Structure 1
Amino acid sequence: MNVEGKLYQIGVVVRDLNAGMQHYRQLFGLGPFCRLDTNYTGRYRGTLQQIANRNAFARWGDLYLEMIEPGKGQSSASEWLAAKGEGIFHLGYATTNLEQRPGGVEVCFETIDSLTEEGQPAVIHLDTVEQLGYYVELADYRLAERLANWIDNTANRQDQ
């Protein structure tokens, strides 16, 4: 499966965000973590709903870790946590081609509130669990760049 874009993120789902940050800090020396709680409209497996999560981000070498504690609504993260437990559930690619469907896979999740300049959902998850063992996230490259800059700038301020 060839995904057009740059791998930039590892998505991890946890039951407790504070415990997850502590675990990754102790195990891998990650941090500082940048916290961001989300509350947005999304479409998951055809159902439009409000989704709210607790999130934390940290640089992990050349990539970023996104840690998600699912809250309100059904999503790829909440489905993964219920079915498989904590762990890596997606790899995120920054791309200009949000319409790609390698191997003909379907979209199972998309943001509705966060759109590209062209009016497309800025973040989608491809239902690649059967083929790859995890979801593939496609994120608009401009959104991914803004997120990376925010993480780096916030982490730099925390280090001072």
Structure 2
Amino acid sequence: MVIAPPGLVPYQIGVMVADLDAGIDRYRRLLGLSGWKHMDTDYVARYRDWEGRIANRNAFAPWGPIHLEMIEPGIGEGNAREWLDTRGEGIFHVGVAVDDMADRPVAAGVVFEVQSQRTPGGRPAIVHLNTVAELGFFLELAWRPLAERLDAWVRSEAVS
């Protein structure tokens, strides 16, 4: 049983897709999501016993009080690539913003962490917990200042 600290409020739903452009079209058509912003990510991460470079294509759109992140795996052997290869498209993670990266559900170990983004205290600023067997998705913890900056960017007006 996973016991979570109080106040884990989602700010993001992460969805895995094989083709980012087709995924955006599908979610725009079916859910009416608009205002998509693109971000190609390239960072060093650890997934279970593997560590290396991860590079994905990502897109974000506001969705009520949260936002949707769409991920098309690219380079690397992380959990995004494994998820798409073994489970296919669909909800991959639910992201929650936390003040203390050590304040996480009891018995849910870290299986993925971004090595190149750190909190001032030196902890990884983004981690995925081993919650797939119990919840059906990864619980992503994001350091609150990072999550708030990302959400503000997702909701900002495009600059021409």
If the TM-score is normalised by the length of the shorter chain, which range does it land in?
Answer: over 0.9
Paired letter, 1:49: G
Which of 54, 57, 65 is the matching residue for 2:57? 54
% identity of equivalent residues? 48
Q: Counterpart in 2 of 1:143? A: 146
Which of 100, 105, 122 is the matching residue for 2:125? 122
> Displacement of 1:8 after TM fit?
0.2
TM-score, normalisation: structure 1: 0.93
- Between Structure 1 and Structure 2, which shows a larger proportion of helix residues? 1
Q: Deviations over 1:69-91 (max 9, x none)?
A: 00000122111111110000110
Q: Structure 1: how far apart are the matches of 2:100 and 2:135? A: 20
TM-score, normalisation: structure 2: 0.93
Q: Deviations over 1:125-152 (max 9, x none)?
A: 0010011111000000000010011111
Residues 62, 155 of structure 2: 8 Å contact kept: yes
> Displacement of 1:97 after TM fit?
2.2
In structure 1, stretches of 5+ residues that fail to align are none
> Displacement of 1:57 after TM fit?
0.3
> Displacement of 1:33 after TM fit?
0.5
> Displacement of 1:46 after TM fit?
2.5
Q: Counterpart in 2 of 1:157? A: 158
Within 5 Å, give how 1:67-106 maps onto structure 2. 67-106=70-109
RMSD value over aligned CA atoms?
A: 1.4
Establish whether residue 131 from structure 1 lines up as the match of residue 134 from structure 2.
Answer: yes
Paired letter, 1:141: R
Aligned length: 157
